[in-house]
Structure formats: C-alpha cells, structure tokens
Amino acid sequence: MIVLGIETSCDETGIALYDSNSGRLTHAIYSQTEIHAPYGGVVPELASRDHIRKILPLVKEVFTKANLHLRDIQAIAYTGGPGLIGALLVGASFARSLGWALSIPTLAVHHLEGHLLSPMLTHSELAFPFLALLVSGGHTLLVKAKKVGNYEVLGETLDDAAGETFDKIAKLLGFPYPGGPQLAILADKGNPHRFRFPRPMIENPNLDFSFSGLKTCAATTFKKSGNDRQTKADIAYALQEAIVETLTIKCRRALEKTGLSQLVLAGGVSANQRLRQKLLELTQKLSCRLFYPPLELCTDNGAMIAYAGYARLASGQKIDDLFIHAKARWPLDSFNHEK
C-alpha cells in the first residue's frame, strides 16, 4: 500500500509517500521558521497562508522524486490535530479533496500518534506494547502505547512543554525562534559547576511534569548574572541538565511502574543529543531498549503521518465519512478502542 502523508499542524509543511510493501519513503519538508522568527513565535495566520503556498509544489516534488503518479497511491493520511486550526484546515481540506477525487480512503491522523510511531519507520523490531516519551514544542507526555490507536497517557506537563522551555530561555539569551537546537549547542560550552537548577516535580511520585518554575529560575539567574557569552553558555548547560535529568527520572519511574522493556523517544526535543545519551544510559542499566527516529524525522514531517495512516488502515480502521477533521485540541487517549 502506498500512502500519501500530509502534515500542516504548525509551521512545517511536510509531505511524504510511504510504501508499506518495500518500506520505501520519499519525503519533503518546508520549514516556515524564517517567516516567524521576527515575531519570536509562530503567527497562526502567516502559517496558514504559507501552507497554502507550499502544499501543492511539495506534493508535486515528492511524486516526482518517488517517480510515482497520483493513480499509484492507495490512501491519504493528514494531520487532523492537535495544532493551529487554520494550518490544520489547509492540509485537511487538501487531503480530503484529493482523496475524494481519487476515490481512495482518506483519514485524519493524530499528530502525536505520528510522532509516537515514527521510530517504526526505521526499526521493524519495535513492537507493542511500549513506553513513549513525547517531547516537543507543544507537548510533554509519557504514554503507554498498547496497540495502534490505544494509548494511555501516564503523565503530562501541567504547564510549559520541554521544547517550549528550551525555546523561551533561548529567546531570552538572544536566539531567534525556535532556539532549542542553538541552546543545546551552546550548552556544550557551559561550565558544569557554575549553576544548578531544580529538577521540578521529582519529589512527586506521579509521572507529571512542570517546567514553568524552572523557566523562571533560569530567567532570574540570567538577569542577575550578566550578559556575557560564558554566562549564557553556563545557563544553557544548567537548563539542559535540569530538563534532561527530570525527563530521565520520570522515564525510569514509568519503566519500573509499567514493567515495559522498550522506550520510544519522539517529538522535536528527541533530537537533543544529551537527552538521547542519558536515556540510552538508563535503558542499558534497566536492560531495556531505546528507540528514536532519525534526526530528519524528529521534528514535524509528513513521513510519520503517512506511516500512522498506514498503521491505522492495516489495523482495520474504517473510513466511513467525507468530513474534514481538524481539531485544535484532541486528547491522545480520546480515540482508544479499549482501555
């Protein structure tokens, strides 16, 4: 089965063709970061307009690269939510119209389900059930993935997401949005002994997170300590360590609590090398396995949506309506087949 995947939930237009027989993947991503950088965050109206401009050229590009025609695809998957409603509607209406014209199944995929299943694109040995840490600009969740479409949220952030915390402090240190990746690079030059920030909520036995106090602590330290490059690097180091250690502690608890032996790390922050290193050490210590997507598929992309669409169709999901599904808010565990 060849599935066309369309991702437009935020500021990346991602288009992909996934062939489930051969595992072949062809994809293209256009990132709008330059458009939003002057505003210090994503401007929803600009995002929608740019998706409209880019979606058709990218679809054409991907079909040309894959040497395929529209008649070769058997299904279309698009991100139905959560995300920016205007941006979602661009991909959803494009996908639904094309699917209707071609008379092929067209389905809405949950954005986080896309991230969650993305390591399966390159790791055929990853099998349900598994634990997943989803860390992105908008979300921080620990999820027990029981089977396709059946996800139990074990814990989530009560305020800021991990990526959002990286981005907000990066902005304060003078990096353009989204500054998470640059903050991680700067952290490598930081003095490990100068600052130590709190590891929020680790005294609390549950699996929830809270990063807003840590953000305030980093911001206050910066204001008190000066604006030189070394201070910025020291703050970047201390912030990254606090976020990574907090995530690692909660992952250890979740693995021990559930008895699961596979941990999936996904979402934009899964590109963070320090987080990968710490989770690798943890999983080795617990005789578990760690899976994460290749770097190019860590942030938003169409490949994960094409794959999640394929997985849903293969698991027997019925496509029985012509509605355009777009939901700004859509809890990951709201469509479970069973608990």
272 binds, among Zn ion, ligand KG4, none (CB under 5 to 8 A by kind): ligand KG4
Sole binder of ligand KG4 in the list 77, 218, 300, 303 (CB under 6 A): 300
Show the binding pattern over residues 283-322: x = contacts Zn ion (CB under 5 A), - = does not: -----------------x----------------------
Environment class of 103 (CB within 10 Å of its CB; exposed 0-12, middle 13-18, buried 19+): exposed
Environment class of 119 (CB within 10 Å of its CB; exposed 0-12, middle 13-18, buried 19+): buried
Q: Which of residues 179-198 bind ligand KG4 (CB under 6 A)?
A: 180-181, 184
**Tokens 């993305």 label which residue?**
118
CA dist 281 and 144 (Å) reads 21
Nearest Cα to 54, choosing from 35, 79, 25, 30? 30
Sole binder of Zn ion in the list 13, 26, 118, 136 (CB under 5 A): 136
C-alpha dihedral over 333, 335, 338, 339, to 10 degrees? 10
Q: Which range in 88-96, 131-139, 143-151, 324-332 contacts ligand KG4 by CB under 6 A?
A: 131-139
| 13 scored as a contact of Zn ion (CB under 5 A) | no
Q: What SS3 state is found at 25?
A: strand
Q: Site for Zn ion (CB under 5 A): how many residues? A: 2
CA dist 72 and 2 (Å) reads 7
Q: Which range in 20-28, 130-138, 147-155, 250-258 contacts ligand KG4 by CB under 6 A?
A: 130-138
247 binds, among ligand KG4, Zn ion, none (CB under 5 to 8 A by kind): none
Residues at the interface with Zn ion (CB under 5 A):
136, 300
Residues at the interface with ligand KG4 (CB under 6 A):
10, 136-138, 163, 166-167, 178, 180-181, 184, 267-269, 271-272, 299-300
